[in-house]
């Protein structure tokens, strides 16, 4: 079984913070930046990185407060998270880079794609949480799935979950089992416990939900916002069995992208890149090689 030690690890010492990232492949090829979601860190892509490395220059950072990347005092904005990625790209000399992203990483990718389309030849999303979801986040029957987004905003939340390795194990087991197809991602639980039981990691990851809360709640109260369409070519592969980010919520994506192809991944839940790695790898290689 692949372990974190099987990959090449680096730390970028930036003005903003120190970012941990894994880099594999050949420099000089198209850089591909893989952005994880929650409850993840770079290792969520461990089934994908070796395949992509045969075709691209693959960079997989831990987002701010996740994995082994620094956290900073206070609550960052979504722009702060996105700017961290841009600062890493600048540090590595990447003028243009493709982005592959999952879950909350999609929020950052959309921000980058909308602001700096000249730097991003393509965007590939798994289960894209998009502004078009609107009030459906708050539907009565869906509260049982998104309760954690409100819980993570409570001051006591990170203290409860991060109390010990045992509490981390209990909490993260729920998401890895419930969100993956037939619970298969629970096989990776030990790696998640090793990472999130480190001091401050639970709190750092929960900050994203404090950062994103007002945007999500405004959309729930007022409906989908009107935003300029992203002009960067985009591809979306959505897990057909995702319980938390429902596949039917892909319906409004054309309102936010000028050029987007959307497909369902069978026998995949929230973690398409883990549940269906062969399909995910093939579609990503095809998409970026075709740009």
Which residues form the catalytic set? 103, 209, 270
- Which segments within the chain are labelled E, that is strand? 9-13, 18-25, 31-35, 57-61, 98-102, 123-126, 234-239, 260-265
- Residue 70's closest CA among 56, 57, 59, 80? 80
- Tokens 């090793």 map to which residue? 194
- Tokens 């841009």 map to which residue? 86
Task: Report whether 37 contacts 104 (CB < 8 A).
Answer: yes
| Helix, strand, or coil (residue 225) | coil
Walk across the sheet containing 260-265 and list its strands: 9-13, 18-25, 57-61, 31-35, 98-102, 123-126, 234-239, 260-265
């Amino acid at each position: 079984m692949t372990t974190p030690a099987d990959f090449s690890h680096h730390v970028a010492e930036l003005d903003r913070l120190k970012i941990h990232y894994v880099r594999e492949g050949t420099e000089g090829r198209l850089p591909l930046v893989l952005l994880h979601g929650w409850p993840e860190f770079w290792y969520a892509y461990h089934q994908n990185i070796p395949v992509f490395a045969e075709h691209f220059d693959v960079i997989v950072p831990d987002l701010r407060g996740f994995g082994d990347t620094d956290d900073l005092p206070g609550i960052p904005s979504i722009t702060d998270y996105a700017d961290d990625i841009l600062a890493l790209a600048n540090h590595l000399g990447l003028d243009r880079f493709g982005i592959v992203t999952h879950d909350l990483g999609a929020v950052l990718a959309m921000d980058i794609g909308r602001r700096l389309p000249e730097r991003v030849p393509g965007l590939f999303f798994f289960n894209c949480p998009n502004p078009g979801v609107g009030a459906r986040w708050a539907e009565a029957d869906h509260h049982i799935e998104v309760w954690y987004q409100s819980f993570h905003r409570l001051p006591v939340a990170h203290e409860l979950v991060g109390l010990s390795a045992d509490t981390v194990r209990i909490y993260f087991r729920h998401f890895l089992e419930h969100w993956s197809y037939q619970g298969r991602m629970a096989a990776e639980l030990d790696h998640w416990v090793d990472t999130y039981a480190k001091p401050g990691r639970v709190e750092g990851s929960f900050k994203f939900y404090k950062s994103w809360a007002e945007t999500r709640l405004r959309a729930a109260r007022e409906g989908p916002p009107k935003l300029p369409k992203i002009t960067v070519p985009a591809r979306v592969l959505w897990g057909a069995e995702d319980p938390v980010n429902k596949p039917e919520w892909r319906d409004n994506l054309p309102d936010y992208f000028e050029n987007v192809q959307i497909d369902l991944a069978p026998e995949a839940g929230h973690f398409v890149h883990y549940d269906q790695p062969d399909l995910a790898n093939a579609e990503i290689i095809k998409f970026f090689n075709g740009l």
